[in-house]
Amino acid sequence: MKVTIIGAGNMGRAIGTRAVAGGHEVEIIDNDPMEAQALAGELGDSATGVDKRSIGGEIVVLALYFPSIPTAIEENRDQLAGRIVVDIANPIDFETMDGLVIPHETSSAEETAKLLPSGTPVVKAFNTVFARVLVRGEVAGQIVDVFIAGDDDAAKQKVASLVESGGLRPVDVGPLRRARQLEQLELLHITIQEPLQLGGASAIKLLP
């Protein structure tokens, strides 16, 4: 499977690492073409840095902060139509670290869905996992859980396959509106890192 990652930052690197580990072809897009090429070089022969107007992935991961998503969609709107778009953002108020910047009755994923061409499935995934944890793929000997939400079952299955092939455990939590709870959950996860001295190396795990 070919996976397009928009954003060559820490999460782009982390998700790209897992996708390559799963045997997938990865293309990296970034506003800075040099950054895209550099990350592709780090990821190895299965990855390439491409022009933002050359999306080829069946799955497109928006490895971006919430405020950057509308611009990325506008720039690539026609090419995103019909592909599976993965929203990983957490719309956190980084000034106060005490809430989200959107109303409680929506989510980054749902707002992303509104901006995309009609019929383009959106899946929420990867937002509850820190980049450094994704790169390793495990914490304390435990496989990392990746929570997935979406309204299109076939799209969720594709993303679950991507997650599983990269050595992680996909956990389907239901429809896209569950992204609201996932984003709130990650707000909590982020805010407890400093007081608990977790250093961004912890993971949220479901155990039987």
CATH number at residue 90: 3.40.50.720
Distance between CA 118 and CA 124 in Å, rounded? 17
Q: Is residue 45 part of a domain?
A: yes
Dihedral sign from CA coordinates of 55, 62, 73, 78: positive
Range of the domain at 9: 2-191
Q: Enumerate the β-bridge partners of residue 149.
A: 124, 174
Task: Determine the pLDDT at residue 147.
Answer: 98
Q: Is residue 55 part of a domain?
A: yes
Give CA torsion, residues 155, 10, 137, 151, to 10 deg. Answer: -20
pTM for the model: 0.97
Q: Is residue 173 part of a domain?
A: yes
Q: Is residue 106 part of a domain?
A: yes
Contact 111, 64 (CB under 8 A): no
Q: Is residue 114 part of a domain?
A: yes
Task: Determine the pLDDT at residue 50.
Answer: 86
Strands 169-174 and 47-49: unpaired
Task: Determine the pLDDT at residue 91.
Answer: 98
Name which of 149, 198, 140 is nearest 171 in CA terms: 149
Q: Is residue 111 part of a domain?
A: yes
Q: Is residue 197 part of a domain?
A: no
Distance between CA 109 and CA 179 in Å, rounded? 7
Task: Determine the pLDDT at residue 136.
Answer: 95
Q: Is residue 65 part of a domain?
A: yes
Distance between CA 195 and CA 145 in Å, rounded? 23
Q: How many domains does the chain have?
A: 1
* Two structure tokens written together for 138: 């495990």
Distance between CA 94 and CA 13 in Å, rounded? 22
Print pLDDT tens along the chain (208 aa). Answer: 999 999 999 999 999 999 999 999 999 999 999 999 999 999 999 999 987 778 999 999 999 999 999 999 999 999 999 999 999 999 999 999 999 999 999 999 999 999 999 999 999 999 999 999 999 999 999 999 999 999 999 999 999 999 999 999 999 999 999 999 999 999 999 999 999 999 999 999 999 8
